[in-house]
A and B are shown apart, each in its own frame.
Chain A
Amino acid sequence: MSYMLEGRTGAWEVVVGLEIHAQVISQSKLFSGASATYGGAPNAHVSFVDAGFPGMLPVINQECVAQAVRTGLGLKAEINLFSRFDRKNYFYADLPNGYQISQFAHPIVGTGVVEIELQDGTLKNIGITRLHLEQDAGKSMHDQHASKSVIDLNRAGVALMEIVSEPDIRSPEEAGAYLRKIRQIVRYLGTCDGNMEEGSMRADVNVSVRKPGEEFRTRCEIKNVNSVRFVMHAVEAEALRQIEVWESGGEVVQETRLYDPSKGETRSMRSKEDAHDYRYFPEPDLLPLILEQEFVNALAAKLPELPDEKRRRFCEEYGIPFYDAGVLVADQATADFYETVAKGRDGKLTSNWMSGDFFAAMNRSGKSIENPPVSAADFGALLDLISDKTINGRIAKDVFEEMVETGKAPAAIVEEKGLRQVTDTGAIDDAVTKVLEANQDKVAEYKSGKDKLFGFFVGQVMKAMAGKGNPALVNEAVKKQLG
């Protein structure tokens, strides 16, 4: 069931490719020793190299190279042992050298693939065309002064990985899923923090439309979209715009556009004539980047388990459904928390509790997995009390709430409040007898076919036992006494 947009002349398919710019996590910049950390007073994290002073030269940061390789491995991509840097020449106030050092002809990473999951559970592969390293530009601000723009070069020279997808994306939902997946992978790998609000990850969205079965038509690029939601909206807005152009008899012009969230539409960027003549040529201040296979192998060996692998392993190892595993591996910290608790315990029980009460409590209290509502140890202890039948599930929920509120350990709460589950069959039988006697009319109805009343009896017994009856034993007893 593919996504189509209805135009006046029929259904249109949307073709999308994403170019994601991900800032590399490193101490210093790609080609200079200045700090790559976000923030800092204006022009503080700037060296003469970053500021493009005369005679300054680039020297590459080995960690940025390693981060790019790790990311490539995470994208199941080809690592190019030979790659090269090129200059991309253009003039802009935030580009001190008048060129950006990038990789054009020979990127460090080649083709790969990323698996995305849609709402309805379908899995789809999105191809990766390449990943290359390049410098980030500085920041120009146009609202600090009436007649001037001001420039801060702190960001100039920070390493970026540009991840280019194949034009395999066919809907806003797929675009969102792909972006989230890339974000998840780089966060797992520790190569980028994926923080779109802060700008450490940005997306350029290439959109075109076509009638099903056609060749690709002209595309437009929407630059610097900085949230998943906006990417999804931008895809739709731009696709609709293009459809309108085609259907009115016009031709979509290849151009660069910006998404305006306040208007929900895209608009053309000014004066980009000749913007495409970047006059790429090999960076003469650098030599070719040659990697040893051993180096790549060593990085591969130390790579953390990736989300897709972890998800599948959770299913197998902990016996939980694919969907549930997906929720747990959404980020590394959550997955780690789960495993800490689930190790040596009932994986399914753990998963159900995490997805349910635990996440609910976390959201309610505004806490995070790094600062959880209950510790992994306490949470595990609670699950143990359920598994060894000390308490039943119903009671456990109350205990959990108490744990969240007071921070006390579950065993302590159970003791304090006398919440131990009753497994004494004698006591249970008594309680059942009393309930059946008090509801003889209902017993008669049940016996004449109203099966649903079974639950009523069980509920009444549990109520009489203040919830502490072992549900299985209660069920058995009720069944026996009803005959």
Chain B
Amino acid sequence: MSIFDLTIAEAGKKLAAKEISAVELTTAYNDAVAALNPRLNAYITVTPELALTQAKAADARIAAGQAGPLTGIPLAMKDLFCTEGVRTTAASKILEPFIPPYESTVSAQLLAAGAVILGKANLDEFAMGSSNITSGYGPVENPWKRNGSDAKLVPGGSSGGSAAAVSARLALGATGTDTGGSIRQPAAFTGLAGIKPTYGRCSRYGIVAFASSLDQAGPMARNVEDCAILLNAMAGFDAKDSTSAERAVPDFTKALTKGVKGLRIGIPAEYRLEGTNPEILALWDKGIEWLQAQGAEIVEISLPHTKYGLAVYYIVAPAEASSNLARYDGVRFGARVDGVDLIDMYERTRAAGFGPEVKRRIMIGTYVLSHGYYDAYYLKAQKVRNLILRDFTNAFDKVDAILTPTAPSAAFGLGEKMDDPVTMYLNDVFTVPASLAGVPAMSVPAGLNAEGLPLGLQVIGKHFDEETVFAVSAAIERAAGFSALPDVRAK
């Protein structure tokens, strides 16, 4: 049994029992990162010394009997969370020199819980992408490979670095953010569990903003239980975030054993898309059987506006992003390219600092908000968004949770799906609606495809009912018995 086989829950117990020390655990992970990160590029910035300092402090707390479930647990922090004194880039060149003088609330809570941060995980630039290839610091290699193939695959995105780190065992868990699927889809591509909580469940303070009405922080880990432990520490009301919900955080780990007996699980007809990979559909059917076998009632439901989700998302998210990214102007922080006057400086700084996908989205966002187009695009999209929310609200009158596939395919190759932006956007077709409605949704690894790549199933719940989401996900996890591991990993 290698130290890398321990989950967060298991490691926590061993640390508390003093069978291993936090320093040991962190040292092992630091070494693993040093060995494998140059290849996988899961981390943009590694902080091994800082991690050791944190580990030592964790050991002191354990010795003093003040340990919690995350004390001494080494994590990857998506490089979208501002970490005080540690470079934060959002995977963009425009923030290359940025060292935040403040800590995000979510990372502060994890640090307060005694977690150890191994480094800042790679991502799509400004969280815009589904493959991590838009990162200004290079793509991330998915530790999973197709059977008998050496081809590099993408880990999904935008939290691709977080996903690769956890699945290659370069971290015990990771934080991600999810705006349209950026936790769930990479989790599915790398055989991990990952949850996007209800909008407002976790604070957005200190997270580099992409689309304010959609962004949510969430955990990614090897299993559902580890996610629950992480979410316990990440969630909670924050007065510094006006969209933060004033709701008590239940102990999500208690939901894991609730089971699904008597729960009504909705199966939305509209997620059975024409042309969806039959393996994905087959896995979905299996998931339905698993839940039925454990006592759940299966209900056919309709979410009629599902197919418009992507169109709504690709108007609303870029619109908000175009405004959120206006602050990157070379004046107060970040990189600057000089110009003959202020406007020239802005234009050159932003042209040099932003990658092509970010530019595209800023331009689309600017356009759909501009004079004469606001009503036809942005306003219309926000109305259709309301219809999508209503679809869920109506469905949740009849069911307690909804089961769907997470992604329309398994991890694809680096260099594939590059024909045009829209092809890449279609990766988010199953994840986007839950983001638009603000409801919690989790991806659980459920099986492998014929090529040996992981596939995930998505569980969607009511607003602030992460507990049911965890209960159903745990039931699927139990039935699926997913135990496959990627070839490339720390051992």
What residues of chain A have their CB less than 8 Å away from a CB belonging to chain B? 48, 51-60, 87, 89, 91, 93, 96-99, 149, 151, 271, 276-277, 279-281, 284-287
CB <8 Å contact, B331 and A151: yes
Binds A, one of B49-57, B94-102, B279-287, B452-460: B94-102
With the chains together, A54 CA to B91 CA distance in Å? 13
CB <8 Å contact, B240 and A59: yes
Which of these, B104, B319, B366, contacts A55 with CB under 8 Å?
B104
- The 10 A-B residue pairs whose C-beta atoms are closest, nearest first, are A98-B326, A284-B212, A279-B369, A284-B213, A55-B206, A54-B208, A52-B327, A277-B371, A55-B82, A55-B207
Mask for B130-156, Cβ within 8 A of A = 1, else 0?
Answer: 000000000000000000000000000
Given that A96-B327, A279-B370 are contacting pairs, would A55 and B342 also be in contact in the complex, using a CB cutoff of 8 Å? no
Given that A53-B100, A53-B102 are contacting pairs, would A286 and B242 also be in contact in the complex, using a CB cutoff of 8 Å? yes
Contact partners of B90 in chain A: CB under 8 A: 54
Name A's interface SS. Answer: loop
Which of these, B239, B322, B332, B369, contacts A51 with CB under 8 Å?
B332
How many whole Å from A348's CB to the nearest CB in chain B?
56
Contact partners of B208 in chain A: CB under 8 A: 54-55
With the chains together, A99 CA to B325 CA distance in Å? 10
With the chains together, A98 CA to B239 CA distance in Å? 24
With the chains together, A286 CA to B240 CA distance in Å? 11
Contact partners of A51 in chain B: CB under 8 A: 332
Q: Please name 5 pairs of A and B residues whose Cβ atoms are closer than 8 Å in the assembled complex, sorted by A.
A: A57-B204, A60-B242, A91-B343, A284-B212, A285-B209
CB <8 Å contact, B323 and A58: no
CB <8 Å contact, A48 and B101: yes
How many whole Å from B109's CB to the nearest CB in chain A?
15
Name B's interface SS. Answer: loop
What residues of chain B have their CB less than 8 Å away from a CB belonging to chain A? 81-82, 88, 90, 95, 98, 100-102, 104, 204-209, 211-213, 239-243, 319-320, 322-323, 325-327, 329, 331-333, 342-343, 346, 366, 369-371, 374, 378
How many whole Å from B134's CB to the nearest CB in chain A?
18
* Other A-B pairs, 10, CB within 8 Å; known A89-B323, A284-B213: A51-B332, A56-B206, A57-B243, A59-B239, A89-B369, A277-B371, A280-B369, A281-B378, A284-B320, A286-B242
CB <8 Å contact, A53 and B332: yes
How many whole Å from A48's CB to the nearest CB in chain B?
6
CB <8 Å contact, A271 and B100: no
With the chains together, A287 CA to B26 CA distance in Å? 42
Contact partners of B320 in chain A: CB under 8 A: 281, 284
Which of B319, B320, B332, B346 is packed against the most chain A CB atoms within 10 Å?
B332
Which of these, B82, B211, B343, contacts A54 with CB under 8 Å?
B82
Contact partners of A287 in chain B: CB under 8 A: 242-243
Contact partners of B243 in chain A: CB under 8 A: 57, 284-287
With the chains together, A87 CA to B212 CA distance in Å? 12
How many whole Å from B124's CB to the nearest CB in chain A?
16
Contact partners of B207 in chain A: CB under 8 A: 55
With the chains together, A91 CA to B102 CA distance in Å? 25
Contact partners of B209 in chain A: CB under 8 A: 54-55, 285
With the chains together, A51 CA to B314 CA distance in Å? 29
